[in-house]
Amino acid sequence: MARSPSRRPHARWAWLLALSCAASPTAGCVSPAPASVKQAADDEPYPADITPPDGTRYPCALTALPRTLPGIPEADRAYINRAYTRVLRATQAKLVMLKALDESRGVEESLVRYREVTARLTDSLRGEAAPAGLEPFQADVAQALILQQAFFAQAAPLRQAGGSMQEVYAVPEGRQASSRLISAWGRMQARYPSWSPETKDSIYHHLCALDLF
Kindly state the helix (H) or strand (E) to which residue 32 belongs, with its residue range. Answer: none
User: In which element (H, E) is residue 57 found?
Assistant: none
Express each pLDDT in 160-184 by its tens digit: 999 999 999 999 999 999 999 999 9
CB-based contacts of 19, cutoff 8 Å, min separation 6: none
Q: How confident is the model at residue 4 (pLDDT cuts 50, 70, 90)?
A: very low
pLDDT of residue 5: 44
Chain-centroid distance, C-alpha 108? 22
Q: Which residue has the higher pLDDT, 13 or 209?
A: 209
DSSP tag of 41 = -
Q: Kindly give the residue spans of alpha helices, DSSP state H, lying in 55-191.
A: 74-103, 107-127, 135-160, 165-169, 172-191
Inform me whether the pLDDT recorded for 210 exceeds 70.
Answer: yes
Burial of 86 (0-12, 13-18, 19+ CB in 10 A): buried
Q: Which residues contact 33 (CB under 8 A, 6 or more apart)?
A: 63, 64
Question: Which one-letter DSSP state was computed for residue 56?
Answer: -
Residue 33 has pLDDT above 60, yes or no: no
Closest CA to 212 of 171, 183, 153: 171
Instruction: Give the C-alpha separation, 79 to 8, whole Å.
Output: 30
Average pLDDT, the chain: 87
What pLDDT is stored for residue 3 in this prediction?
Answer: 38
Q: Are 198 and 67 in contact (CB under 8 A)?
A: no
